[in-house]
Structure 1
Amino acid sequence: MIKTDVTQARKFLAGDEFTAAFEKASTAFEKIKNRSGKGAEWLGWRDMLADPNDAILEEIDSLANKIRGKADVFIVCGIGGSHLGARAVVEALGSFFGCEGPEIIYAGHQMSGKYLKELVSYLEQSKADGEPKSVYLNVISKSGTTLETALAFRVLRKWMNNRFPDDISDRIICTTSKEGGALNELIVEHGYKKFIIPDDVGGRFSVLTPVGLLPIAVSGVDVKTLFYEAVSTYEKLEDDPQEVLEYAATKYALYQRGKSLDVLTTFDPQLKALTGWLQQLLGESEGKEEKGMFPATASFSTDLHSIGQFIQQGTRNMMETFITVRSARKSITIEELPGNHDGLNYLSGQSFHEINTQAFYGTLKAHINGDVPCVVVSIDKLNAQHIGAFIYFFELMTAIYCYCLEVNPFNQPGVEDYKEEMYQLLGKR
């Protein structure tokens, strides 16, 4: 399952530092359980695991199967938590090249006119058999007015209205707030299918709601297994939170020691989007009141040839969190070559996964020797069960750690600052 090893990071702490941090983390967890901490009204991501809604899971699973049978392309139109969580799971559990079922494409997560123009052009291209592409669209936004998402939805909705006028109401699915907001007006007017974003769940904690579950299910992942393993992990950690408390305490104690950067790294390229989800989860949760560590991401071994030098010998203001997978789904075994022209015959009989694993251990040892405190989070294997456990584990750890910092884990007032300035420049009243 999910295992965390903080032993190499704790070597950088005095015993009393960790003990004090662990006591603070334990108190923080109690605040979460008894709903006495800042932002307690946003704990719906825990409540839905304590009391699962089987009907919603069935509805999502049923619609996803229908879409998988009809769609060539499924567009996820959203930004931040409305895009990162689903993408993290889809890429972690999917294929690098090609896929069974619809191609998942993302939109509304930036404001590139070139991207949208080329996306529409791609959608208009016929398939290899000469038939037009069948396209479904899931727009995700509580307010329906988030600028990046709303602009993309304007363009894509117009294109879909022209291409699929007879069944457009079946092809557009809106995931939004229960009441109010711009999307609810369109739902009433056009009869689009609707899923509700719970009022008490913020975007970066929403991957196990319809926000993430519908796109994940359309990709072919078993969302019931994903969700119920998160439920199981919730129950286990309620009874025995030792592992998550040790992790949160270690991270907080290192912050108290002056660490201001947490490099989230993986040696598995299919987990790159997962570290992106972690970056948002941590960054938007802890970065307030001039507190918190900046969550950077790195994909090894690629980035060992770019920022690896800095991590090894640069400013000693960082810790590192490795996300690893113990067993590989697919790999290639190295064969011995006549002449040994590249000098790599000594690797014969080993798989790429085995070689990559040793690269991880070597990097871990080197970075520790370079005075970088390192935490290792291990996943047994990449499947829906283990990713479900991973999601809840990090959601809980983030909330505990942020309460240690004495900030509200669930708001993002700083995000509104840039929006205010941007809207003024754009002439919004």
Structure 2
Amino acid sequence: MIKLNYRNIKDSVIGCENGLNIDEMFLQYKDRIAEIITSLNERRSQAGEGLEWMNLGDHEQTIWYVKEFASMIRNRFDNVIILGIGGSALGGLAVTEALLKPYWNLLDNEQRNNFPKIFFLDNIDPDSMNGLLQVIDLKKTLVNVITKSGDTAETMSQFMILKDLMQKELGDDYRKHIVATTDKKMGVLNHIANQEGYKIFYVPDDVGGRFSVFSAVGLVPFAVVGLDIDKIISGVKDMDLALQNTDIYENISAQGALIHYLMDIYKGKKISVMMPYSSRLKYISDWFVQLWAESLGKELNNNFERVNVGLTPIKALGATDEHSQMQLFNEGPNDKLITFIRINNFDTVLEIPKIFEYTGIGYLGGKTINDLLNAEADSTQVTLLDYSRPSLTISIDSIDEYNIAQLLYMLEVQTAITGELYEINAYNQPSVEQSKNYTYALMGRAGYEGSADILREKLS
């Protein structure tokens, strides 16, 4: 089970200026938290609330279809390319990087149990896309194009390039190499996929991209590369059940949400640092950055009053960023709340041999890399305490499907509760849509000529 340790945000530990009297605050806010959780539990089944992501563990038909599809294409492809951006890619990238064997794409077929290599084209960088096309065989490649709207410029431009190449190289057979994940009722990709006969999976209504990791958006890539979908869903459902508890003292998502909120409004901690002590969890920080920033960074509250709230997320990696960002975290502005993620049991215990007697390194011999990583994590936390810097620690037993699913779902619910505390809509992103409209105008999309005129004036 996932655990949250909040000792290092207490005023008794880091002082009253930067710490909270957490017992008093829990008592003061326990009724408000209970109201929020009750409201989320009631609204999750109501259309238009943006909360269908809370029910994805019960989408049994989709789960069955995904597993059936993965079984049907088993051993057919050497590569799978995921086309998506933002929430259409980050969840898949975070989970596969965490759960697949390290350096998965460098392993041979036998080491991968004949599951395909997986590549995420989540940015429209021409050099990186062309570089991938130079090293893979399209005849042995499956392309999963993911866009709920069906007309995301970045994703669909990449799809147009790949479709053209595959059609030229594979002829009519190219259709068997494409699977679309998109909206069920509307959108250009939906139309193309139905017209051309691609396999289609649907993104449910009321599930935004950044909350879609446990929908077909994430499940299709997971299943295709051999991850255990049942264990993932089991982790989600068990955590969901635990987080329906309205008691602040028993609900770790509510605790995390309230602490972040209070640290902002009372202590000025407007920056949230996510720092896992595991390279395999590096991209979970990327996923969290989008989830936290896009959900909580809002100009208007639910009463349409200008509030300009938001907690700026920063990603860091232990122990790597002890040698880059930690100097700032310790001695720079005291405006950050750092969340560490600790792993209790790694898959590997790697011993350091006793081969040198030099004073500067000899002490390492006979220890393990695991010992060193844990010692550095402990030392980093204590150093932060020396500088009165608050931190939280999330601990998970091991890196597997069940625990990673629990971690991500816990962070999703934490985000939802935080949005309720700020009284904002955590499920829209109006300024992102504005930027998209400007892009359409610059690229000559019909109907956006007015935006083009505005852009030319502002860019001149």
Q: TM-score, normalised by structure 2?
A: 0.86
2: CA distance, partners of 1:263 / 1:173: 36
| 1:9-45 alpha-carbon deviations (Å, 9 max, x no partner) | 1330135445434443332212212229999621111
2:415 to 388, 392, 398: 398
8 A contact 1:285–1:409 mirrored in 2: yes
How many residues end up aligned between the 2 structures?
418
| 1:249-308 alpha-carbon deviations (Å, 9 max, x no partner) | 111110112111001111211111011111111111101121021011001221111111
Q: Are 2:398 and 1:370 equivalent residues in the alignment?
A: no
Q: Which amino acid aligns with 1:3?
A: K
Task: Give runs of aligned pairs for residues 69-148 of structure 1, distance below 5 A.
Answer: 69-97=75-103, 98-99=106-107, 100=112, 101-107=115-121, 109-124=122-137, 134-148=140-154
8 A contact 1:139–1:153 mirrored in 2: yes
1: CA distance, partners of 2:153 / 2:191: 17
Task: Give runs of aligned pairs for residues 146-185 of structure 1, distance below 5 A.
Answer: 146-185=152-191
Partner of 1:3: 3
2:363 to 327, 346, 363: 346
Partner SS, residue 326 of structure 1? strand
Partner of 2:427: 410
1: CA distance, partners of 2:391 / 2:47: 30
1: CA distance, partners of 2:74 / 2:374: 35
2: CA distance, partners of 1:342 / 1:180: 68
Q: Are 2:219 and 1:213 equivalent residues in the alignment?
A: yes
2: CA distance, partners of 1:315 / 1:39: 43
8 A contact 1:76–1:106 mirrored in 2: yes
Q: TM-score, normalised by structure 1?
A: 0.92
Partner SS, residue 119 of structure 2? strand
Q: Which amino acid aligns with 1:63?
A: F
Identity over aligned residues, as a percent?
Answer: 31
Q: Are 2:291 and 1:281 equivalent residues in the alignment?
A: yes
Q: Which amino acid aligns with 2:116?
A: P
1: CA distance, partners of 2:432 / 2:330: 33
Partner of 1:32: 40
8 A contact 2:80–2:143 mirrored in 1: yes
Q: Are 2:265 and 1:247 equivalent residues in the alignment?
A: no
Shift of 1:345: 2.6
| 1:331-363 alpha-carbon deviations (Å, 9 max, x no partner) | 3101111x4247323222222112101110100
8 A contact 1:120–1:159 mirrored in 2: no
Task: Name the CA shift for 1:372/1:287 in 2 (closer, same or farther; >3 Å).
Answer: same
Which segment is superposed worse, 137-146 or 232-241? 232-241
| 1:174-229 alpha-carbon deviations (Å, 9 max, x no partner) | 00001110111111221000001001111111111100001011222101110122
8 A contact 2:47–2:206 mirrored in 1: no
Shift of 1:67: 3.2
Q: Are 2:356 and 1:323 equivalent residues in the alignment?
A: no
8 A contact 1:173–1:193 mirrored in 2: yes
Task: Give runs of aligned pairs for residues 181-192 of structure 1, distance below 5 A.
Answer: 181-192=187-198
Partner of 1:233: 239
8 A contact 2:345–2:398 mirrored in 1: yes
What is the Cα-based RMSD across aligned positions, in Å?
A: 2.0
Structure 2 unpaired stretches of 5+:
12-18, 300-307, 447-460
Partner of 1:271: 281
